[in-house]
């Protein structure tokens, strides 16, 4: 997997899939039968009640193990593809974003969440940012070795630049823009998520939004502001424009000018009926 330049998270996910399978049966996975393999997947769905996306992550690791590592193609073909329901992402409205940011008294934490939203970043990209990645001359932020091992540039908001400068004056980060308190190293993936969940609770936001929803909101707001879908794809770093196209279903770009068919019906008789009642 390292030779194929798989991301560290993918490697860990694949290893975990094989490890849990071996632990479930307490025998080496290469000694399992096709029936046992299918029974395990059924167990994940019915007993563990894993979401379709989680099941697909497990089966991807198992397919790689059997097909590429062990050369057991028949076992790999035993694993059926599982359709993942396409759900529209939850996004913040302007009031919720304002409440979210205003609830954070810690300047470092506030700037971190604002950066994620203003630049459309994943958690892994936020914690990997370095001071030198902020280019105020070109008003851009360089994202290095992101998902799929790709580099890209995204926009640097003038408002975010002011926040970053104020943050830098107080914290003076040396390498990582948002370093861990332990020797200034890289933050763990769990840290920004914990900060987000605590702040969401303080802000009284009850929507099923996550840290990643900041990225979804960034893309949706750009689309509503008139940015074309191809530009948004580049800013997000999506390999396929299909992934970006989902925001067409979320954005309210044209909804304000569309009338419901109900508004086109003459309901004056209904109004007279209500008065009589």
Minimal CA–CA distance to 97: which of 220, 194, 190, 1? 220
pLDDT confidence of 277, banded at 50, 70, 90? low
pLDDT confidence of 9, banded at 50, 70, 90? confident
In this structure, the answer to whether residues 103 and 168 fall within a common structural domain is yes
What CATH code is carried by the domain that includes residue 190? 1.10.443.10
Domain stop point among 54, 78, 102: 78
- DSSP H or E segment with residue 5: none
Q: What is the mean pLDDT of the chain?
A: 87
Q: Does position 261 have pLDDT exceeding 80, yes or no?
A: no
65 C-beta neighbours (distance < 10 Å), count: 20
In this structure, the answer to whether residues 44 and 123 fall within a common structural domain is no
In this structure, the answer to whether residues 74 and 127 fall within a common structural domain is no
Minimal CA–CA distance to 9: which of 147, 196, 190? 147
Q: Per-residue pLDDT tens for 106-156?
A: 999 999 999 999 999 999 999 999 999 999 999 999 999 888 778 999 999
User: How would you class 176 by CB atoms within 10 Å of its CB: exposed for 0-12, middle for 13-18, buried for 19 or more?
Assistant: middle
Return the SS3 of 189.
Answer: coil
Q: Which domain holds residue 133?
A: 94-248
In this structure, the answer to whether residues 140 and 225 fall within a common structural domain is yes
What CATH code is carried by the domain that includes residue 41? 1.10.150.130
User: How would you class 120 by CB atoms within 10 Å of its CB: exposed for 0-12, middle for 13-18, buried for 19 or more?
Assistant: buried
Which single residue is written with the structure tokens 């939203």?
117
The CA-atom distances, in angstroms, between 32 and each of 171, 209, 264 are 54, 40, 64
Q: Is the pTM of this model over 0.85?
A: no
Q: What is the DSSP string of 66-124?
A: IIIIS--HHHHHHS---PPP--PPP---HHHHHHHHHT---HHHHHHHHHHHHHT--HH
In this structure, the answer to whether residues 168 and 234 fall within a common structural domain is yes
Q: Per-residue pLDDT tens for 162-211?
A: 999 999 999 999 999 999 988 778 999 899 999 999 999 999 999 999 99
The CA-atom distances, in angstroms, between 180 and each of 18, 101, 119, 197, 263 are 31, 21, 21, 18, 56
139: left (phi over 0), alpha (psi -120 to 50) or beta: left
pLDDT for the residue 6: 84
In this structure, the answer to whether residues 180 and 54 fall within a common structural domain is no
Minimal CA–CA distance to 164: which of 199, 122, 200, 133? 133
Which residues carry out catalysis? 122, 147, 212, 215, 238, 247
Q: From CA 129, how far away is CA 231, in angstroms rounded?
A: 22
Mean pLDDT calculated for residue range 66-79: 91
Number of domains in the chain: 2
In this structure, the answer to whether residues 231 and 197 fall within a common structural domain is yes
Return the SS3 of 130.
Answer: strand
Residue 105 lies in a domain: yes
Percent of the chain with pLDDT strictly greater than 90:
62
Return the SS3 of 146.
Answer: coil
């Amino acid at each position: 997997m390292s030779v194929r330049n798989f991301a560290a998270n993918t490697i860990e996910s694949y290893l975990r899939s094989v490890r849990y399978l071996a632990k479930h049966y307490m025998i080496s996975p290469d000694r399992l039968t096709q029936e046992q393999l299918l029974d395990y997947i059924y167990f994940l769905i019915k007993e563990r009640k894993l979401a379709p996306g989680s099941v697909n992550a497990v089966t991807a690791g198992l397919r790689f193990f059997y097909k590429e590592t062990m050369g057991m193609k028949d076992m790999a073909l035993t694993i059926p593809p599982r359709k993942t329901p396409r759900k529209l992402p939850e996004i913040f409205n302007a009031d919720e974003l304002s409440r979210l940011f205003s609830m954070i008294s810690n300047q470092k934490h506030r700037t971190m969440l604002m950066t994620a939203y203003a630049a459309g970043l994943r958690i892994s990209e936020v914690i990997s940012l370095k001071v030198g990645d902020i280019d105020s001359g070109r008003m851009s932020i360089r994202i290095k070795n992101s998902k799929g091992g790709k580099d890209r540039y995204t926009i640097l908001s003038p408002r975010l630049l002011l926040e970053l400068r104020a943050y830098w004056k107080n914290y003076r980060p040396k390498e990582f823009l948002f370093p861990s308190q332990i020797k200034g190293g890289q933050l763990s993936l769990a840290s920004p998520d914990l900060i987000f969940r605590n702040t969401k609770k303080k802000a009284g936001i009850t929507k099923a939004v996550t840290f990643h929803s900041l990225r979804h909101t960034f893309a949706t707001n750009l689309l509503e502001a008139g940015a074309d879908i191809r530009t948004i794809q580049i800013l997000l770093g999506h390999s396929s424009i299909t992934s970006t196209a989902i925001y067409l279903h979320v954005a309210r770009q044209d909804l304000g000018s569309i009338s419901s068919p109900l508004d086109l019906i003459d309901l004056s008789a209904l109004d007279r009926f209500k008065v009589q009642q």
